[in-house]
A and B are shown apart, each in its own frame.
Chain A
């Protein structure tokens, strides 16, 4: 077992530990915080694959912003005993497990069947520049449409929160 495998196993353990925590903690704030742990583990995978930019985006957007949003929302609406807020449904938990297994099977099958032709670049390659050329070159329309979509969502959120004036 070389160093790379060891790092992979440790990161996988952290990610799975976080993911198991999300479903098994009965306190929903604890569940949200272990979601952060899981996000950080995934960011570690990106670093291991030398996709530093993606890893940092993962930390900033998922671990730093989205999870804060989730925790904020939870704290604002919670009015019960916090230790009883994330209890799994007595029947649906089995259905959920079944569906999760099914999806894991499909993804595993897809991974087994596909051919990965990509190769590792040199560690000093200017990956941010390459990414920028793709996003602002070949895929610029998709990129701009996503940006407009986000802008519309932000404007909509502000109107919903403030309440539009009646004409």
Chain B
């Protein structure tokens, strides 16, 4: 049991020791380990997304009372692999009137930012690529860069729908970033740290979803909007904007945007379970299995919401953020402050 729990930590320790026995200096061995960790992150992302896209289609099929993909493999599990192969082999089309450099850079930038989010996520006990002392803030601040990538895609495409979609998504993401950050304040106030490993350690006795239920709900709503997922998927609302900022993209470039959105979904779900559901802590099972289970539960919740609620109108969407979510999160912060003050007063 203990062996399974520390499997990956032991593996990296053993790897470092092995490199050192070959005469590699410690600094270089650490650098090589870091590279391998980055490759592992890419592997984790790709594996999860392959499962996730299949799962999304199956869940949506179940909710809409249809079978979903069911031809390739048992219950259609290999459908995503086939789709990926198809997208990879498609002709790479760049429309002639585009702003070429921006058009090409946008999907790469979008994907890079999404992958960078993973380096601060605790994926188990002592399993974190970098334990930044401002880890949570790193996550929020890098997330704000994705607006630039979307804007570049929309502008570079030189197309009305693309630009409209990009404008919508930027307006939406900037508005929802405020309640997103504010709803995490309660957790930070209780923990007294922005370090993600500290936040997990602070949930030793009680999960923060019990102490901060309102923050959990507001964060969930704001995160849905940040991820551009339904019911807040205005930026790519198919019926009115064809595909928003992605209209002119095809083949692998389109797939990169698509992949990045799912990469973000996994990252945000993992962050949600780290902040509110106790992170990797749990009985019996090893820690790295717990975080996977919790992340998948949260992702299932995101899917459930997406396929249950109809799309919300753009002006309602903005009004909801500014007139409902932000006041609620502010009240939550004040209440948390009072609660902490009283609690510390009692505790001495």
Q: List the one stretch of B2-10, B132-140, B293-301, B336-344 in contact with chain A.
A: B132-140
A75: chain B residues at CB < 8 Å are 155, 163, 167
Q: Is the CB of A68 within 8 A of B134?
A: no
Q: Is the CB of B194 within 8 A of A63?
A: no
B151: chain A residues at CB < 8 Å are 68, 71
Interface residues of A (CB under 8 A from B): 27, 29-30, 33, 36, 52-53, 56-57, 59-60, 63-65, 67-68, 71-72, 75, 124, 126-128
Scan residues 144-195 of chain B and give those whose CB is less than 8 A from a CB of chain A. Answer: 144-145, 147-148, 151-152, 155, 163, 167, 170, 174, 194
Scan residues 34-48 of chain B and give those whose CB is less than 8 A from a CB of chain A. Answer: none
Q: Is the CB of B134 within 8 A of A128?
A: yes
B141 within 8 A of A: yes
Give Cα A33–Cα B134 distance, bound, in whole angstroms.
27
B145: chain A residues at CB < 8 Å are 59, 63-64
Q: Is the CB of A56 within 8 A of B167?
A: no
B140: chain A residues at CB < 8 Å are 60
A30: chain B residues at CB < 8 Å are 99, 102
A130 to chain B, nearest CB (A): 11
Interface residues on B, range: 20 to 34
Interface class of chain B by DSSP: helix
Q: Is the CB of A65 within 8 A of B174?
A: yes
Interface class of chain A by DSSP: helix
Q: Is the CB of B170 within 8 A of A72?
A: yes
* The 8 residue pairs across chains A and B that have the minimum distance between CB atoms: A64-B144, A60-B141, A56-B141, A59-B141, A52-B134, A60-B144, A56-B137, A64-B145
Q: Is the CB of A64 within 8 A of B148?
A: yes
Give Cα A67–Cα B155 distance, bound, in whole angstroms.
14
B24 within 8 A of A: no
B224 to chain A, nearest CB (A): 20
Q: List 29 A-B contacts (CB under 8 A).
A: A27-B99, A29-B99, A30-B102, A33-B152, A52-B132, A52-B134, A52-B138, A53-B134, A53-B137, A56-B138, A59-B141, A59-B144, A59-B145, A60-B144, A63-B148, A64-B141, A64-B145, A64-B147, A65-B144, A65-B174, A68-B151, A68-B170, A68-B174, A71-B151, A71-B155, A72-B167, A75-B163, A126-B133, A128-B194
**Which of B141, B144, B194 has the most C-beta atoms of chain A within 10 angstroms of its own C-beta?**
B141
B72 within 8 A of A: no
B84: chain A residues at CB < 8 Å are none
